[in-house]
A and B are shown apart, each in its own frame.
Chain A
Amino acid sequence: MRDSVPAGGSSVTSANTAQSEGPSASRQAASLEFREATKRYPGTDRPAVDHLTLEVPAGEICVLVGPSGCGKTTAMRMVNRMIDITEGDILVGGRSARERDEVELRRDIGYVIQQIGLFPHRSIGENIATVPRLLGWDRRRTAARVEELLDLIGLPREMTGRYPAQLSGGQRQRVGVARALAADPPLMLMDEPFGAIDPINRERLQNEFLRLQAELRKTIVFVTHDIDEAIKMGDRIAVLQEGGILAQYAPPAELLMNPENRFVEDFVGADRALKRLALERVRDVDLWTAPLVHDGEPVAEARARAADSEVPYALVVDDDDRPLGWLTERGLREERVRTDLASSPEPIVDLDDVLRDALSDLLAHEVQYGPVIDPQGRVVGVLSIELLSHVTVTTPEAA
């Protein structure tokens, strides 16, 4: 399948390993732990990073977010000792970063910066091969890895020979990520990696990266000043405030729900309740039971069911429980349930819809309730504005 598979020979066993395992990480992601990590610059009275303590489980994205001057980039750069740790320590995979040789440590950690920093005098292939070469991989293994990474980031292999100046901004950004992934590092540092990309391409690159991450499961420290990006990208978010003080460290939903102090509350924004809705899907909500009735059933039955439910109207469904419409006042005056006296069931909400979209649908149809259907189209419950407003004010279950 791969034309560059080495033709036997015991000297290339390592190359074989790298190829057979493909882009899915062959190396275990490393956990990361800041332990009272502090950076103090001489001649300043406040530390740039102040006794930062937080743990990132292996395989998760931890976003460092905060206004400029909050020390988020400094904190990130302390991990690979691009900035020296004044006090405290940072453990990468349980090993103290302070005790490791800094060059060796850096080769073991992927590094992506906003300006990308591709070497303009080296071809795309050579750029991607930077760390493998430093690590002394042989030519064949390196070339195979470069091709594999180009496939992974969706660039044609012919691009290997091009120079960075011949690529678009988005392509350069992808190459920057590929270069950081080249030696399959157990930990990646990304400093505003999409910051210099226009909004449309940024969205695309973010989604691409999340898809990649779902496969690679790297431990990632991701720095951004954009709270929306933080919420989108992060498994956990560390909000830093000026002086490098950790204001809150929590999963996105919890951060939006329970900002620990005024600073975090302001930082996540007045629309944090709406942002929260973007994080959950309809299936995550305890839906109301739908008072289902079928055509021809006694209206008294419909009244009884509606009275038992939080929903004041009965929902007419067909024999497969697909929604046909809400029984109207007019319909209630009849003896039997008549489908033709039911109003539109729209909007019909999908179990997999994001809550924000569901809310938007309800508002657009100017209604309080929407029937929720499963992938087979059967009604499984009812979503209401009231339920959504509960979601936005209640604590999520511990993530």
Chain B
Amino acid sequence: MIELVFAQLQRRDRSGADCVADNGICPDWIADNFDRYVTPFWEHVYLTLVSVAIGFAIAFGLALLAHRWRWLASPITQVTGIFYTLPSVAVFFLLLPLTGRGNTTAIIALVAYTLLILFRNFMAGFENVPAEARDAGRGMGLTERQLLWGVELPLALPEIMAGLRIAVTTTVGLASLAFLAGAGGLGEALFDDINFRSNVLVAGGLAIGLAVVLDLLILGLQKAVTPWTRAAAA
């Protein structure tokens, strides 16, 4: 099976020019061939965002359960911890017979990876809610639901957003292996011609650029939704 996959990775014809023959960094080649990265790039974006979104929803649900019933926190951490330590490549191959090649398999594996990070950050966020704010809220007659949505979640936001940043950048990296599950992405383009520098530069560069941009976007979002955290310093 492994051989079969790596057979795909064989070097292909590099279309002419001297620079290409010298295996250099070739702007002309990059300009001419940029089209071929567009689809993998959007596949990569899709895999990342869908996986993180699903992971976020599941981790949020788990965190609410663990918030309500404290004893659940430890088993949930352990199970998601196991998911986290499984090598992703192994997970892809383990899932292949069950879910077949394609996005489903890749997304399941990527989601499993985000759970621990997101869950732990949700819990850290809840723990950072000052006990006296909770007590005062209850004492003034907030219902448990109002306390959760109006006090606890907003105050947990800095940690939650921090978790989201880690999850997104990690997922961008891991999605580079999603092609092993037949889900495409920049990894496919990268390994398509791993020995050709220009290819590696563009495919790798796009992946890194995606991680940086998404990270900055979330950072900006975090600042926008937690204005009080900066007020303290002012």
Contacts and interface: CB of A to CB of B under 8 A. Distances in A.
Main secondary structure of the interface of A (DSSP, over half): mixed
A383 to B, nearest CB: 47
Nearest to B143: A103
A41 interface: no
B228 A131 contact: no
B140 interface: yes
B139 A131 contact: no
A121 B141 CA distance: 18
Interface stretch (A162-170, A201-209, A359-367): A162-170
Given A121-B226, A134-B140, A134-B141, A163 B132 contact: no
B193 to A, nearest CB: 50
A257 interface: no
B145 to A, nearest CB: 11
A118 B231 CA distance: 15
* Contact-residue bracket for chain B: 20 to 34
B132 A111 contact: no
Interface in B105-159: 130-143, 146, 151, 154-155, 157
B141 A120 contact: no
A115 interface: yes
A130 interface: yes
B221 to A, nearest CB: 16
Contact of B139 (A113, A118, A120): A113
A241 interface: no
Interface in A126-156: 130-131, 134
Contact of A120 (B133, B142, B234): B133
Contacts of B142: 103, 130, 134
A163 B131 CA distance: 18
Contacts of A130: 137, 140, 142
A69 interface: no
Interface of A: 80, 82, 103-108, 111, 113, 115-122, 130-131, 134, 162-163, 165-166, 176, 179-180, 189
